[in-house]
Each structure stands twice: as structure tokens, then as C-alpha cells.
Structure 1
Amino acid sequence: MGTIAELLGYSLEPDPDATGADSGENAGSSSVIDAGANEKADEQREVAMAIVLDECDLAPAQARADLTLREDLEMDDLVLYAIVSRMEHEMKTSLSDDEVRSWVTLGDLLDAAAAVG
């Protein structure tokens, strides 16, 4: 059995333009690479947060990292996997079922999104 995205017919091929690779100008500068990685992580968090806000009845001002997915946000399996599917599609990645099951809070979900890529 494949990932949820694959079951829905999405291809999860990595985007070569999204690798964060530098054109060579600053190839020796780790601070540029770190800044690029931090920027990418922030973008991934924003994508994941937008998906959560779209799928859940949550106002942006009420979002906190400590909100629990099951109790506070009232996510059932269907809502959670709809979010995961959209994350996989929009981030062009794959998330394991074990990783998804380990998420307890909104912060866990956002941290996983930031770790992608």
C-alpha cells in the first residue's frame, strides 16, 4: 500500500526548483544555506497552517501550537488524513502513517511540515 497521496493519484516527484540549491555564488557560505533552510521551513509551516485553517473550524487568531488535534481541534481520522493528503500534494512529499499517528498537537503537525524538504 502506498501513501495517501499516491492512492489519490498524486505524483510525489520532488520539484528540482525547490531544492534550495544555490547557483554557486555562495556555495561556501553555510549561513546562506541555513537562511534558505529556515525560509523553506517557514514556508512549509505556512502551507500546513493554511491547510489546517481551511479544513478545521479554527480562526487564525485562535491557533496555538499546544492545541490538541483530536480534542481541541476535533479532528477525526478523515479530517486528519484530508490534511495530510493536501500537505503531501502541496509540499510534494510523503508522510508516513507512523509519523502522522505520532502527532498530538498542532505544533507537532507544523514541526513535521517544517522538517519536510
Structure 2
Amino acid sequence: MSLSQSIQPDDDVLVVRPGKWTLIIVTLLRAETLRFSEIKRHAGGISQKMLTTTLRDLERDGFVTRKIFATIPPRVDYELTQLGQELLELADSWRVFAARNRVQVEAARRQFDAAGGEPVIRFIRPA
């Protein structure tokens, strides 16, 4: 099967496109419902626009639910759905992978950066 045959247009609904903040937000919602401002405070460094975009993407894909309360100021709470709990398992696996391989990734980045962002060229002579 070729690459063009393996991904069909209808398969797009099954594609999760995690951005930089997706797994962070999912892990923040692990144990409790959080307000928008709480997520922003705990995420550290995320812009309001990026948080809004990421939460909407997570809601659209069915990973989080949003509850809006008619208060002044408006209160918006987010929590993981059952599907979000499954994504949390993936986030936890990713965290374990990252911790286990941090040294190798950092070494690869240093090597890449030292080469000026260019791939290392290796000349191989035929035997």
C-alpha cells in the first residue's frame, strides 16, 4: 500500500492534531474541572488567543466539554470527556517517553544547531 492509499480524505475525522499546548492542557484537566483563567495561570506562558484556540480544538474533537455560567463576569469551566481521558493516557505515555529520551533529544538538537541547521552530510564509499 502506498502512502497516498493509506490516508483517505474520510480519515480526517480520526486525525488528532496536537499542538504545543494540547497535552499540557489535557494533563491540567486530569483531576478536576478548571476555569479558563485557572488553565491560563497553570499552563504558564500560553497566550489567551492560543489557549482559546487550543480549547476550542479540544472541544471540537470531543476531548473537553465547556460549561458557561450566566454570571458577571461570565464563568466558563472546562473538563475532560471520556475521550479526553483516553487522550490523557497518551499524554502520560508521551511524558514518560520525553523523560526517558530527554538527553538524546537535547544532544541531537545541539548537533543540529552546531551544524547551522543543516543536516550532517556523510559520504559513504561503496565497498
TM-score normalised to structure 1 length: 0.29
Larger radius of gyration: 2
Structure number with higher strand proportion = 2
Higher RCO structure (Cα 8 Å, ≥6 apart): 1
